[in-house]
């Protein structure tokens, strides 16, 4: 039996520095970037005072994201809405990419860890800026100095748990779906249906519904919410 590979495939190599491999993750992220940029241009072209058509949809999306940020972080931190909204949109698109039969970029630890490191930097940059660097750094030695290593460990655990939570959930779904498709393929081949693989047509819908739609949207929401909560706790 040939073991099934679950890692991202290398699509092509950039022929400099011994060849830089470009994986499926990167190519699919480019695709999502393209779609989001095109949607943003289409949604904001020829803006009018009284919106209609596409502008209505764009305004509704922006309003929902603004409200989510305001409710979670407080009125004084509405300025974070553009970043949080972008994060939410790109995560939703990434997690739902499995519905098109493409590999979700979030099933790669590189993607989720990069996003979590951005969150980590934001937590500490904005924390230090709003409290003053000295006061902020002193906060790590509270309630008393001996707890300093514990506090630093706790801070470092934040990006790790944030990235692994998203990665683990999405890669779990990816593995289940890959195994299900493989199993259904061999089942329909053994039934003599290899020309009409109807078994793969309907049955995985239930799995896609749970792993891609439910878990995907929920995990995007949770990643954005935790980012917002951590930043606003560090600032207050």
Question: Which residues here bind other proteins, judged by CB under 8 A?
Answer: 1, 3-4, 6-7, 161, 164-165, 168-169, 171-172, 175-176, 179, 182-183, 210, 214-215, 218-219, 221-222, 225-226, 229
Of 28 and 169, CB closest to other proteins: 169
How does DSSP classify residue 203? Answer: T
Kindly state the smallest distance separating residue 106's Cβ from other proteins, in Å. Answer: 13
CA–CA separation, 110 and 25 (whole Å):
9
Of 128 and 213, CB closest to other proteins: 213
Q: For residue 43, how many other CB atoms are within 10 A of its CB?
A: 17
CA angle 108, 98, 27 (to 5 degrees): 55
Of 152 and 218, CB closest to other proteins: 218
Give the DSSP letter string of 170-202: HHHHHHHHHHHHHHHHHHHHHTT-TTS-THHHH
Of 1 and 50, CB closest to other proteins: 1
| Long-range interactions of 127-132: CB distance < 8 A, separation 24+ | 127/231, 127/234, 127/235, 130/234, 130/235, 130/236, 131/235
Kindly state the smallest distance separating residue 166's Cβ from other proteins, in Å. Answer: 9
Kindly state the smallest distance separating residue 183's Cβ from other proteins, in Å. Answer: 7
Name every residue whose Cβ is closer than 8 Å to that of residue 111 and which is 6 or more positions away in sequence. 25, 29, 94, 105
Of 2 and 46, CB closest to other proteins: 2
Kindly state the smallest distance separating residue 224's Cβ from other proteins, in Å. Answer: 11
**Is residue 99 a contact partner of residue 213, using CB atoms and an 8 Å limit?**
yes
Of 102 and 176, CB closest to other proteins: 176
Kindly state the smallest distance separating residue 54's Cβ from other proteins, in Å. Answer: 28
Kindly state the smallest distance separating residue 79's Cβ from other proteins, in Å. Answer: 21
């Amino acid at each position: 039996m040939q073991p099934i590979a679950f890692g991202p495939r290398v699509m092509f190599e950039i022929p400099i520095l011994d060849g830089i491999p470009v994986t499926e993750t990167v190519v699919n992220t480019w695709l999502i970037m393209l779609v989001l940029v095109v949607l943003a241009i289409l949604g904001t072209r020829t803006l009018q005072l009284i919106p209609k058509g596409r502008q209505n949809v764009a305004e509704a999306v922006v309003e929902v994201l603004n409200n989510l940020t305001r409710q979670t972080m407080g009125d004084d931190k509405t300025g974070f809405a553009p970043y949080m909204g972008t994060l939410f949109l790109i995560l939703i698109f990434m997690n739902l990419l499995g519905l098109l039969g493409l590999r979700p970029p979030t099933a790669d630890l590189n993607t989720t860890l990069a996003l979590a490191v951005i969150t980590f930097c934001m937590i500490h940059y904005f924390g230090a800026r709003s409290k003053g660097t000295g006061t902020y750094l002193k906060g790590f030695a509270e309630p008393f100095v001996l707890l300093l290593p514990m506090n630093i460990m706790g801070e470092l655990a934040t990006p790790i748990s944030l990235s692994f939570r998203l990665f683990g959930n999405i890669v779990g779904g990816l593995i289940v779906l890959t195994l299900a498709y493989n199993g259904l393929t061999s089942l329909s081949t053994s039934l003599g249906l290899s020309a009409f693989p109807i078994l793969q047509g309907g049955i995985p819908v239930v799995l896609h519904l749970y792993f891609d739609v439910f878990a995907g949207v929920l995990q995007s929401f949770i990643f954005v919410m935790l980012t917002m909560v951590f930043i606003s706790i560090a600032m207050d």
